[in-house]
Structure 1
Amino acid sequence: MPHSPAPSPWITRFAPLIPAGAQVLDLACGQGRHARYLQAQGSRVTGVDRDGAALQSLQADTAGEWLLADVENGAWPLEGRAFDAVVVTHYLWRPLWPHILASVAPGGLLLYETFAQGNAAYGKPSRPDFLLQPGELLQVCASWSVIAYEAGLLRNPDRVVQRIAARRPLDGAPIPAALLA
């Protein structure tokens, strides 16, 4: 297996909440650090990324479904599909919020971690389009059960992040109207 960075401690902390054999979506999976980790934990992983070389690497040594898709400029490749858990790290494209939330099955888990406002002081990303606003993940998951939420400066490397672990209600709570606008 090619070397890939270690999975995020946020993901490894909450991965035990994902049942063995669960269907998991790793959005913007890149080199597959989370896909490989979750598969080793017994999950069936679907990864989506626009980097064909990264997906080829995953296909070569990791069982799973690997979809090449530019979700920012093309169609959402998973329309109508729902997963027991959705994992997103180091990625933010706000127009996808409705798709991401709808991809979490009722009772399913969202594990999300990415850069937040203030990160520009430490490096990239620095454009506001790619930085979460204060409390944004809490707003996105307002009707869900928040298991854990953190926001602030992390060290080594220095970066400002927000991260959330949230469970979609069993009744499949609707996507907040503000996200659909």
Structure 2
Amino acid sequence: MSEISSKWNERYANSGHPLPAVADVLLKGEHWLPGTASERPSMAALDLACGRAANGEWLAQRGFHVSAWDISKNAIADIQQRPASRVAVAQVRDLEKQPPLPHSFDVIIVCRFLDRTLCQAICEALKPGGILFYQTFTHGLSNPDFLLRSNELLSLFASLSILEYHEPEPDESGKAEARLIARRQD
């Protein structure tokens, strides 16, 4: 077991807590979700580095066929054992070793996770017309490797068409998260 998976397994060892809040990027950008209610059951969505999959559950409630991937077996077990879960596929996955396949998803949500080496694979994993919702920290973490630089999301996903972008100043606690919504055109 890797050091990273051990860290996240420890974090998610105590399941049964309420799901965290759904990401602002989804709530504020819901109008960008593709498809109609009748089309969405045939549309694939990915909650990447999902944790307990609050975002995946939210997408499933809106009709998408949702896959939720995380490196933590405890997080995935929590999803699989949750009686009311609507996530179709919950999978333990090391994204560096198994990134998403090209043209696999109509929607991808990434929240509070940053691995710059995966950004191209995320772009390629979107189907043509697919939408990426991405939200992560610009301020407030102790490890600067996991903090975005100013406007960095725009450059990391420059191959996509930007639909919305917001990069707020830090709040009173010193935290801030950038939000990006983008579409794959080709």
TM over 0.5: yes
Whole-angstrom CA distance in 1 between matches of 2:153 and 2:79: 29
Whole-angstrom CA distance in 2 between matches of 1:16 and 1:161: 20
Whole-angstrom CA distance in 2 between matches of 1:77 and 1:141: 16
Whole-angstrom CA distance in 1 between matches of 2:172 and 2:162: 27
Whole-angstrom CA distance in 1 between matches of 2:174 and 2:20: 17
1:12-31 mapped onto 2 (5 Å cutoff): 12-18=27-33, 19=35, 20-21=40-41, 22-31=43-52
Q: Determine if the alignment matches structure 1 residue 130 to structure 2 residue 152.
A: no
Q: What is residue 9 of structure 1 aligned with on the other side?
A: 24
Could you tell me the percent identity over the aligned residues? 31
Q: Determine if the alignment matches structure 1 residue 86 to structure 2 residue 102.
A: no
Q: What is residue 158 of structure 2 aligned with on the other side?
A: 142
Q: What is residue 11 of structure 2 aligned with on the other side?
A: none
Q: What's the secondary structure of 2:95's corresponding residue?
A: coil
Query: Deviations along 1:32-82, whole A, 9 cap, x unmatched?
Result: 11011111111111111011111111112324111101224xx11533452
1:1-181 mapped onto 2 (5 Å cutoff): 3-18=18-33, 19=35, 20-21=40-41, 22-61=43-82, 62=85, 63-72=87-96, 75-116=97-138, 119=139, 123=140, 125-153=141-169, 155=171, 158-169=174-185, 171=186
State the number of aligned residues: 162
Q: What's the secondary structure of 2:167's corresponding residue?
A: strand
Query: Deviations along 1:120-140, whole A, 9 cap, x unmatched?
Result: xxx4x2322101111111112
Task: Give every structure 1 segment of 4 or more consecutive aligned residues whose post-TM-superposition deviation is greater than 6 Å.
Answer: none
Displacement of 1:154 after TM fit?
Answer: 5.2
| Higher alpha-carbon deviation: 98-107 or 75-84 | 75-84
Q: Which amino acid aligns with 1:99?
A: A
Whole-angstrom CA distance in 2 between matches of 1:145 and 1:79: 20
Q: Which amino acid aligns with 1:86?
A: I
Whole-angstrom CA distance in 1 between matches of 2:91 and 2:103: 13
Q: What TM-score comes out, normalization by structure 1 length?
A: 0.81
Q: Which runs of 5 or more structure 1 residues have no equivalent in the other structure?
A: 172-181
**Structure 1 residues 94 and 143: alpha-carbon distance in aligned structure 2, compared to 1, 3 A threshold:** closer
Over aligned residue pairs, what C-alpha RMSD do you find? 1.9
Q: Which runs of 5 or more structure 2 residues have no equivalent in the other structure?
A: 1-15
CA contact (8 A) 2:99 2:118 kept: no
